[in-house]
Amino acid sequence: MTDTTPRGWVPVEHRFLGLDRRTFAPALSVLVIALLLLYGLPALNAAIPWHNEIRAGDVLDLGDGATAVPPVGWQLESGTLTGAGSASPSSLQVQLAAGGATISLRGTSFTGTADAFLDQVQRSEGSPPGVDGSRGTVTTASGLVGVAQGSSSPNGDALDVAFKMAAASGEAEAAPALLVRVRTAPGQFERLQDTVATFLRGITPGASR
């Protein structure tokens, strides 16, 4: 009679509460890594303060002489202030954050109107949930006119504003495009709408070419 070992059989010296002790170390390593990713890194990010807080008088460089005045007290997570470098309007990336809210600016080359640019952005991303379909206009203190559309969902509120960064109306078609995106936690936008409105009014195009 031939003895056969059942599949999955674990020798007595390797058992603990019916489990194979040899699998404990790999499983524990996986658990530690998972806990680190889930709790450790966010806690570390929260514990490390940003040291790039916007101060009174700071001005964002949007490239080719275009500028924007960021809200004081927000954190500049990416982007360039005037006098600290040179930004490109066709590859601009700026990110401002405060609490659960963010304001991002993305620049690109686009031939067409601000309205067409916003259409293209929405087509490339699919129809965002909560968009009500209505659009309005935003006029900056310098006379730059943008096209704005808001949305709301259980995840929060959003506002997208598209500009063509032209100093003169005849240059709008060929001018770089700028997309300003505001994202807030649910119920937060109403408290920040004056801050957002002031920021949008402070966007200024570069000098006429």
Summarised one tens digit per residue, pLDDT across range 57-101 is: 999 999 999 999 999 999 999 999 998 878 899 999 999 999 999
pLDDT band at 175 (very low <50, low <70, confident <90, very high): very high
> How confident is the model at residue 55, as a pLDDT?
96
CA atoms within a 13 Å half-sphere pointing along the CA-CB vector of 61: 14
Region 146-160: mean pLDDT is 94
Q: What are 8-20's pLDDT values in tens digits?
A: 555 655 555 555 5
Neighbouring-strand partners of residue 157: 152, 184
SS3 letters for 64-96?
CCEEECCCCCCEEEECCECCCCCCCCCCCEEEE
CA atoms within a 13 Å half-sphere pointing along the CA-CB vector of 156: 13
Q: What are 100-138's pLDDT values in tens digits?
A: 999 999 999 999 999 999 999 999 987 655 555 589 999
Region 155-162: mean pLDDT is 95
State the amino acid at position 94 in one-letter form: V
What pTM did the predictor assign? 0.73
Vertex 20: Cα angle to 15 and 26 (nearest 5): 140
> How confident is the model at residue 46, as a pLDDT?
47
Cα torsion through 167, 169, 174, 177, rounded to 10: 60
Portion of the chain with pLDDT greater than 90, in percent: 59
Its sign, for the CA torsion 105, 109, 110, 113, is positive
For the chain, the average pLDDT equals 83
Integer Cα distance of 65 and 83 in angstroms: 11
Integer Cα distance of 161 and 116 in angstroms: 12
